[in-house]
Structure 1
Amino acid sequence: MGIKIKDFGKILTIVGVLILFTGIIYLFDRKLLLLGNTIFLTGLVLMIGLSDLKSFVFSSGRTKIFLIVMFGIVIMLIGYNVIGIVIELIGLLALLGIYLPVVIRFLHSIPLINNIFNISQLRSFSEWFSPDDRLPL
């Protein structure tokens, strides 16, 4: 039994995020950031599907935000890594910010990470992003 395309997309998305963080840790290494972006976007397309991704991006005014993310990638291609990653992260937060409470609730369900969220500063941060029990889906 082979691996499904969506599962492979999830793996690529996680690997892409890890490579992006590694690029940030290595003082905004351009090659790692571009490789992480490429793998992350490829994994996103495989995980969600091209038609669903198009309908998500081109619906309800998300096109401008998606263009901001792409502008951040272009800025990184030009050579301004710090400015590009900041623009890209702001765009991704604006594009996917509605799903942040779901991610925080998921992280609360993982035993070791739940202990990290019990630190007072992080607890107030996570309560600020998910104040009620409703999911945005």
Structure 2
Amino acid sequence: MFELTDTQRIGIGLASFGVFFLFLGVLLLFDKGLLAIGNILFICGLACVIGLERTFRFFFQRHKVRATVAFFGGITVVLLGWPIVGMIMETYGFVLLFSGFFPVAVNFLRRVPVLGTVLNMPGISQVIDWITGDSKRVTV
């Protein structure tokens, strides 16, 4: 498997708690305190997992400026007390930032035994291909 350092293990824990707090914040009607804690933990966890330099390079690439501004602007808006608007901005930035990763994730999920069968069904497969932008996919 993969060999993880202690810092990466801590980062996975921080990112997991961040996602949990974000989920809990949305579940509790956009509680700004939980959303703020979730955002901070997620960013800190990401920095621990992939490293500070790679995190900085990921967010501040020239072609990802709009996505980075939307993502961090959304975090700032949540911290200022407008959680719904901030989460909408954050979601938009997240989708733009990680849109290159979606086809890889979907191809991995298509190889999972039960989930892959569902994702490869004719109607669902076409919708997933449209969402990921993978219209020229060849099934093997």
Please tell me the TM-score bracket, short chain as reference. 0.7 to 0.9
CA RMSD of aligned residues (A): 2.6
Please state whether the residue corresponding to 2:62 is helix, strand or coil: coil
Moved more, 104-113 or 32-41: 104-113
CA shift in 2, pair 1:20/1:121, >3 Å = farther
- What is the CA distance between 1:96 and its match in structure 2? 1.3
**Which of 103, 115, 124 is 2:105 aligned to?**
103
TM-score by length of 1: 0.79
Could you tell me how far apart the structure 1 residues matched to 2:136 and 2:34 are? 38
Please state whether the residue corresponding to 2:99 is helix, strand or coil: helix
2:66·2:93 contact (CA, 8 Å) conserved in 1? no
Q: What is the 5 A alignment of 1:68-83?
A: 68-83=70-85
Cα offsets for 1:11-39 (capped at 9, x unmatched): 32233223212211221111211111111
Could you tell me how far apart the structure 2 residues matched to 1:6 and 1:19 are? 20
Please state whether the residue corresponding to 1:28 is helix, strand or coil: coil
Q: What is the 5 A alignment of 1:33-72?
A: 33-72=35-74
Could you tell me how far apart the structure 1 residues matched to 2:27 and 2:50 are? 28
**Which of 11, 29, 32 is 1:30 aligned to?**
32
Q: Which runs of 5+ in 1 are unaligned?
A: none
CA shift in 2, pair 1:131/1:96, >3 Å = same
Could you tell me how far apart the structure 2 residues matched to 1:27 and 1:100 are? 28
- What is the CA distance between 1:133 and its match in structure 2? 5.4
- What amino acid maps onto 1:79 in structure 2? G
Identical-residue share of aligned pairs (%): 28
Q: Give aligned pairs, total.
A: 133
Could you tell me how far apart the structure 2 residues matched to 1:114 and 1:71 are? 36
Moved more, 14-23 or 111-120: 111-120
> Do structure 1's residue 19 and structure 2's residue 36 form an aligned pair?
no
CA shift in 2, pair 1:120/1:132, >3 Å = closer
Could you tell me how far apart the structure 1 residues matched to 2:61 and 2:95 are? 17
TM-score by length of 2: 0.78
Q: Which runs of 5+ in 2 are unaligned?
A: none
